Amino acid sequence: MLVDALSFIGFIMLTSTGILLHFLLPPGSGMQSSIWDLNRHQWGDIHFYIAVIFFFVLATHLLLHRHIIMNMVKGQDRKEARFRLGLGLTGLIVILMLASAPLISPQQSGQESNRQHQGNIDKR
């Protein structure tokens, strides 16, 4: 029950800080705008730490419910159980690939990034 409540609170906080960053303190607002004396970068730090905590709460939730998950898989006929297991593993692999893509992508230098950004602006 506590893990469920923490998951819900984390989801709401992550969503609200994400909306705040996207709509109220959009990219480029930098140090000019602030809410509660926190600028975009400081809110981004808060958003990141909430996401890390949320990840561990959800991992704990899955760990606590592993027996239920395994019983659901075992309680079905073999063909359907294999299909669900395969579907679940495929989904997990896709999610891990999407989550790790920014971490393994090459980083652009400041000038290269600015040139690319300026090129996108010129195309408009």
| Residue 57: its H or E element | helix 40-64
**Separation in Å, CA 34 to CA 12, 29, 37, 45, 60:** 21, 9, 5, 14, 34
Range name among 48-57, 68-77, 108-117 with the lowest pLDDT average: 108-117
For residue 100, pLDDT over 70 is answered with yes
Q: What is the pLDDT of residues 25-36, one digit of tens each?
A: 888 776 677 788
Residue 45 confidence (pLDDT) = 92
* C-beta of residue 43 within 8 angstroms of C-beta of residue 20: yes
On whether residue 32 sits in a domain, the answer given is yes
Q: How many structural domains comprise the chain?
A: 1
- Give the distance, in angstroms, between the CA of residue 35 and the centroid of all CA atoms in the same chain: 23
Does 86 fall in a domain? no
The answer to whether residue 52 is domain-embedded is yes
How many Å apart are CA 43 and CA 34, to the nearest integer? 9
Residue 24 domain flag: yes
In the chain, % of residues over pLDDT 90: 17
User: Which residues span the domain enclosing 33?
Assistant: 1-64
pLDDT at 107: 67
Query: What's the pTM value of the predicted model, to 2 decimals?
Result: 0.61
The answer to whether the beta carbons of residues 20 and 35 sit under 8 Å apart is yes
Q: What are 4-25's pLDDT values in tens digits? A: 889 889 989 999 988 888 888 8
